[in-house]
C-alpha cells in the first residue's frame, strides 16, 4: 500500500483495536445500561447503575491518559464509546462525554500538579466533572459572561451564576470560566477571562433545582451558584486572562463527542425500526416489503452512515489537533445532530401510533435527539463557525 493510501485508511477506517473497543462497549451497554434507560427517563433520575457499569468497564472517562490511571483511549475510541452508550441510553452517554468536556483542558492546558490532583480520581470513577461556561445572559455569546474571579493575594474569590450545566450537583469537580480582568473583557471580546477548577465541597458552591427537560432526563441540568467562593491559586487552568481561547479549543474537540452521541441515538432508533418493520404485518405482508417504507429506511441509513463517517473523520483530526479541526468539529456536530433528529422522527413514523407511546423507546430517542442540535453551540452557531472557516480558507 502506498503512503498516501495508508494515510487515507488511517483517517477513514477504525483499527481492529477500535472495533474490539466497540464490541466490549456494546456488550456492557446492552447488558447493563440498556435495561435502565426507560426508567432513567421516566423518573428523571441520574443513572447510578449505568455509571457503576461504565466505571467497572473503564468506559466512564476513557480519554484520561494512562499516566493518570486512565485507559488512554484516543479520540476515535472515545467517540466509539459515546456512540455505543448513546445507542441504548442518551442520558448515560453524557457520563463519558461531559467528563471529557470538563477535563480535556486539564490535560492540555493545566500544570502537572493540577493534573495529578484531579485526573486520577476521575479515571478511577471516584469523581465526575462538569463544564461551566454558559450563564443566564451568556449562552451563544459566551464571551459576555458576568461571573467574576477577584484576586485575594495568590488566590481567587469567585462570584456568579452558571446555567445549563450538565451533571451539576452530581459532579465533584467543575471547570469554571470567570472574568478576571473586566477592562480587557470590555475592550476586546474574549479577553480577560480565566479558567479554574472548583470543587463541589467548596464553601459558597450550591446548585439550583434540576431543569424539567424534554429529553436526556437522566442527566441533571442545573444552575451552579458561586457565592464568594475562595479557591487557591493552584487551581488556575493555564494562564490568567487566557481562559476563553481554552474554552473554544476545548469545544473544537468535544463537539465531535456530541456528534458521536447523535450518531448513537440515531443508530439505536434505526435498529429498533428495522426490527419492527420486518415483523409488523399489514395488508397481508410485512410493512418492510412496501416501497415507501424501504425508501424511508434507505434515506435513514444513508444519512446516518454519512454522519458517522464525518464524525470519525473529525475524531481523527481531533486526535492530531489538525488546523481544520474547528471546521470539522462544527460540521460533524451540526450534520450528525440534524440527522439524528430526522432519523428518530422517521423511526417514530414507521411505528405509527406505537411509536408515539412510551411503551416503545423511539419517542424517548426522538426527545433525546433534539438537544444535540442545541448544546455545545446551536446548529445555527455551527453554521456561522463553518462559514467563517471557509471564508478564511479552511478546510483545504
pLDDT in tens, 91-112: 999 999 999 999 999 999 999 9
Between 394 and 286, the higher pLDDT residue: 286
How many residues are given for the chain?
Answer: 396
Class of domain 253-391: mainly alpha
pLDDT at 5 over 80: no
All residues at 6 or more sequence positions from 141 whose CB lies less than 8 Å from its CB, including other chains: none
Alpha-carbon torsion (51, 165, 356, 275), positive or negative? negative
Query: Cα separation of 255 and 96, whole Å?
Result: 13
pLDDT at 11 over 60: no
All residues at 6 or more sequence positions from 26 whose CB lies less than 8 Å from its CB, including other chains: 84, 87
How many whole angstroms from its chain centre is CA 48? 18
For residues 120-127, give the mean pLDDT: 98
Q: What is the pLDDT of residues 332-387, one digit of tens each?
A: 999 999 999 999 999 999 999 999 999 999 999 999 999 999 999 999 999 999 99
Query: 211 catalytic, yes or no?
Result: no
Confidence band of 45 (pLDDT split at 50, 70, 90): very high
pLDDT of residue 249: 97
Q: Cell 459532579, residue?
A: 171
What is the DSSP-derived secondary structure letter of residue 202? Answer: S
The answer to whether 338 and 379 have CB atoms below 8 angstroms apart is: yes
C-beta atoms surrounding 38 within 10 Å: 15
For residues 177-182, give the mean pLDDT: 98
Query: Cα separation of 7 and 17, whole Å?
Result: 17
pLDDT of residue 12: 61
Q: What is the pLDDT of residues 81-96, one digit of tens each?
A: 999 999 999 999 999 9
Domain with CATH 1.20.140.10 in the chain: 253-391
pLDDT of residue 262: 99
pLDDT of residue 69: 98
Q: What is the DSSP string of 131-188?
A: EE--BTTBSS-GGG---EEEEETTEEEEEEEEEEEETTTT-SEEEEEEES-HHHHHHS
The mean pLDDT of the chain is 96
Q: What is the pLDDT of residues 246-291, one digit of tens each?
A: 999 999 999 999 999 999 999 999 999 999 999 999 999 999 999 9
Its pTM stands at 0.96
pLDDT at 396 over 90: no
pLDDT of residue 385: 97
All residues at 6 or more sequence positions from 83 whose CB lies less than 8 Å from its CB, including other chains: 93, 260, 261, 263, 264, 267, 308, 311
Query: Cα separation of 225 and 198, whole Å?
Result: 11
Q: What are phi and psi of 196, to 5 degrees?
A: -140, 160
pLDDT of residue 1: 40
Please report, rounded to a whole number, the percentage of residues in the chain having pLDDT higher than 90: 95
Which grid coordinates belong to 11?
483517517
Domain with CATH 2.40.110.10 in the chain: 130-244
Query: Cα separation of 259 and 278, whole Å?
Result: 29
pLDDT of residue 269: 98
Confidence band of 13 (pLDDT split at 50, 70, 90): confident
Q: What is the CATH number of domain 3-128?
A: 1.10.540.10
In DSSP terms, 224 is beta-bridged to 162, 207
pLDDT of residue 2: 46
pLDDT at 160 over 80: yes
Which grid coordinates belong to 126?
471516584
Between 4 and 187, the higher pLDDT residue: 187
pLDDT at 192 over 50: yes
Query: Cα separation of 100 and 106, whole Å?
Result: 10
pLDDT at 4 over 50: no
**Which one of the listed residues 109, 135, 223, 376 is annotated catalytic?**
376
The answer to whether 161 and 177 have CB atoms below 8 angstroms apart is: no
Of residues 128, 369, 122, the one with CA closest to residue 259:
369
Domain 130-244 is found in CATH 3.40.1670.10: no
Amino acid at each position: 500500500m502506498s503512503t498516501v493510501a495508508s494515510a487515507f485508511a488511517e483517517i477513514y477506517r477504525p483499527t481492529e483495536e477500535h472495533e474490539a473497543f466497540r464490541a466490549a462497549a456494546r456488550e456492557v451497554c446492552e447488558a447493563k445500561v440498556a435495561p435502565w434507560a426507560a426508567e432513567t427517563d421516566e423518573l428523571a433520575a441520574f443513572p447510578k447503575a449505568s455509571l457503576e457499569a461504565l466505571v467497572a468497564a473503564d468506559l466512564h472517562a476513557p480519554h484520561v491518559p494512562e499516566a493518570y490511571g486512565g485507559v488512554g483511549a484516543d479520540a476515535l475510541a472515545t467517540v466509539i464509546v459515546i456512540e455505543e452508550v448513546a445507542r441504548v441510553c442518551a442520558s448515560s452517554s453524557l457520563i463519558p462525554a461531559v467528563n471529557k468536556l470538563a477535563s480535556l483542558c486539564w490535560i492540555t492546558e493545566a500544570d502537572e500538579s493540577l493534573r495529578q490532583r484531579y485526573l486520577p480520581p476521575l479515571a478511577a470513577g471516584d469523581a465526575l466533572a462538569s463544564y461551566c461556561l454558559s450563564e443566564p445572559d451568556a449562552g451563544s455569546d459566551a464571551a459576555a459572561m458576568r461571573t467574576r474571579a477577584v484576586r485575594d493575594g495568590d488566590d481567587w474569590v469567585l462570584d456568579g451564576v452558571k446555567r445549563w450545566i450538565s451533571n451539576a450537583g452530581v459532579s465533584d469537580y467543575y471547570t469554571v470560566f470567570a472574568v478576571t480582568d473586566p477592562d480587557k473583557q470590555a475592550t476586546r471580546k474574549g479577553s480577560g477571562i480565566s479558567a479554574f477548577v472548583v470543587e463541589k465541597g467548596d464553601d459558597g458552591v450550591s446548585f439550583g433545582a434540576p431543569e424539567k427537560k424534554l429529553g436526556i432526563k437522566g442527566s441533571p441540568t442545573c444552575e451552579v451558584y458561586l457565592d464568594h467562593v475562595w479557591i487557591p491559586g493552584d487551581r488556575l487552568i493555564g494562564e490568567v486572562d487566557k481562559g476563553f481561547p481554552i474554552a473554544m479549543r476545548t469545544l473544537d474537540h468535544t463537539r465531535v463527542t456530541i456528534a458521536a452521541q447523535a450518531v448513537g441515538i440515531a443508530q439505536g432508533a434505526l435498529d429498533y425500526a428495522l426490527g419492527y418493520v420486518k415483523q409488523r404485518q399489514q395488508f397481508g405482508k410485512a410493512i418492510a416489503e412496501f416501497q415507501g417504507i424501504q425508501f424511508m429506511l434507505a434515506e435513514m441509513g444513508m444519512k446516518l452512515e454519512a454522519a458517522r463517517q464525518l464524525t470519525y473523520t473529525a475524531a481523527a483530526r481531533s486526535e492530531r489537533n489538525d488546523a481544520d479541526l474547528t471546521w470539522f468539529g462544527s460540521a460533524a456536530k451540526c450534520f450528525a445532530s440534524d440527522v439524528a433528529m430526522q432519523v428518530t422522527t422517521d423511526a417514530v413514523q414507521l411505528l405509527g401510533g406505537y411509536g408515539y407511546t412510551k411503551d416503545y423507546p423511539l419517542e424517548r430517542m426522538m426527545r433525546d435527539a433534539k438537544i444535540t442540535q442545541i448544546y455545545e453551540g446551536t446548529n445555527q452557531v455551527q453554521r456561522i463557525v463553518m462559514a467563517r472557516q471557509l471564508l478564511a480558507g479552511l478546510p483545504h
